[in-house]
Amino acid sequence: MSKIGSKIGKRLGSRLSLPLLFSFAVFLIFLVTVIVTGLLFYLADVFGLIDEKLVMEGTVVPLLILISCIIIGTAISAISSRKMVRSIRTFIDATDRLAGGDFSMRLQLKSPPEFRILSENFNRMAEELGGIEILRTDFVNNFSHEFKTPIVSIKGFAEMLKYDDLSRQERDEYLDIVIEESARLASLASNVLELSKIETQTILTDKKSFNAGEQLRQCVLLLASKFEKRQLVLNLDFHDYMLEGNKELLNQVWLNLLDNAIKFTPEGGEIVMSMKKRSGRIVFVISDNGPGISPEALPRVFDKFYQQDTSHSTAGNGLGLTIVSKIVHLHGGTITCDSLLSQGTAFTVTLPAPQTQP
């Protein structure tokens, strides 16, 4: 019977909302106070502890009953409120620990339903804050590494350039490295500023309608020298589909994806670019037959500063794909990456087509 009673109590507690539970608790406190007070006065009357003269006067007994009710009611309220106060103290302690940086803190309050919802929201908030803290730490570490490496390189080669016994060839080589590392620093600063601007942008501005196929052709022409230098084969399937969005931002998307494809495609390799309409959306695919991306690295390709090449010997700073992803999502689109080792990589960008477009 006790198990059945406890189950009924749990179900009743889970169904009662906080206002109803509070009202029910107040009613029980009043009821228990009246019963206990009445029982005490009945026992006092039975054992002759109450003088008949006091009863006849008619003012002392009500006063005694009032004082007894206050004392007994206060005592019962203090005892019954311990559970609720304990839950509130648990929540206060949890928020203190969370404010102190302990993002592993979790609440397990089960009843009333409002406290359960409070626990779930608190746990979700703690989890999100923990993830943000990890991202922040990774960002600082990666940014420090990316920023420090070219500075150290520039400093080292600048010091070597002070020697008078350097040959003209060595001096030119060191100067080229200094120029290259300076350009890398400038690119890093530019990308960080661009990413910061895009991340704070919630509304797409400077929207216009333009020919997406023509934009892709222009991007290919801009990178034509890189294609020719690596003797890459281009397989293009463009159409004159109209697209609505920020042309300058989308230009960065195609240039970043194309530059990545060129960078990782072996000399004499092939890059395929295609676009087609599907269910009111335009699907762009840029693929290469390069070395591919490992299954472990694939989920992180859009993370800030992430590079599969842990030696950081490959040109770039790991921000290009992050910027691409932010721009695509800002346009209400999606971007995915599919890759197989030794077979190549394909990036698929899906953007909404204008409503008036046939």
Cβ-based burial of 335 (10 A; exposed 0-12, middle 13-18, buried ≥19): buried
90 close to 109: Cβ distance less than 8 angstroms = yes
Mean pLDDT of 197-201: 68
Cα 261 to the center of its chain, rounded Å: 28
Retrieve residue 262's tokens: 């060129």
Q: Which residues pair with 236 in a beta bridge?
A: 273
Q: In the predicted model, is pLDDT for residue 273 greater than 90?
A: yes
Alpha carbons 353 and 212: distance in angstroms, whole number = 10
Please tell me the predicted confidence (pLDDT) of residue 151: 83
Q: In the predicted model, is pLDDT for residue 251 greater than 80?
A: yes
- Comparing CA positions, the residue from 287, 285, 290, 286 lying closest to residue 267 is 290
Please tell me the predicted confidence (pLDDT) of residue 135: 60
Least reliable range by pLDDT among 106-115, 228-237, 255-264? 106-115
What is the pTM for the complete model shown?
0.54
Please tell me the predicted confidence (pLDDT) of residue 10: 44
Mean pLDDT of 317-328: 80
233 close to 267: Cβ distance less than 8 angstroms = no
Please tell me the predicted confidence (pLDDT) of residue 118: 81
Nearest 5°: CA angle at 90, between 88 and 94?
Answer: 115
Q: In the predicted model, is pLDDT for residue 74 greater than 80?
A: no
Please tell me the predicted confidence (pLDDT) of residue 12: 42
Q: Which residues pair with 114 in a beta bridge?
A: none
Q: In the predicted model, is pLDDT for residue 84 greater than 90?
A: no
Alpha carbons 64 and 308: distance in angstroms, whole number = 82
What domains sit in the chain, N to C, each tagged with a CATH number?
2-127 (no CATH), 145-199 (1.10.287.130), 207-352 (3.30.565.10)
Going by pLDDT thresholds of 50, 70 and 90, the confidence category of residue 21 is low
Q: In the predicted model, is pLDDT for residue 193 greater than 50?
A: yes
Q: In the predicted model, is pLDDT for residue 262 greater than 50?
A: yes
- Comparing CA positions, the residue from 210, 220, 195, 228 lying closest to residue 286 is 220
Alpha carbons 87 and 66: distance in angstroms, whole number = 32
283 — phi, psi (to 5°)? Answer: -110, 120
Alpha carbons 42 and 336: distance in angstroms, whole number = 80
Please tell me the predicted confidence (pLDDT) of residue 275: 92
Alpha carbons 198 and 190: distance in angstroms, whole number = 12
Going by pLDDT thresholds of 50, 70 and 90, the confidence category of residue 303 is confident
Chain mean pLDDT for the chain: 77
Please tell me the predicted confidence (pLDDT) of residue 45: 65
Q: In the predicted model, is pLDDT for residue 311 greater than 60?
A: no
Torsion of CA 232, 234, 235, 238, to 10 degrees: 160
Q: In the predicted model, is pLDDT for residue 270 greater than 80?
A: yes
Mean pLDDT of 319-323: 81
Q: In the predicted model, is pLDDT for residue 229 greater than 80?
A: yes
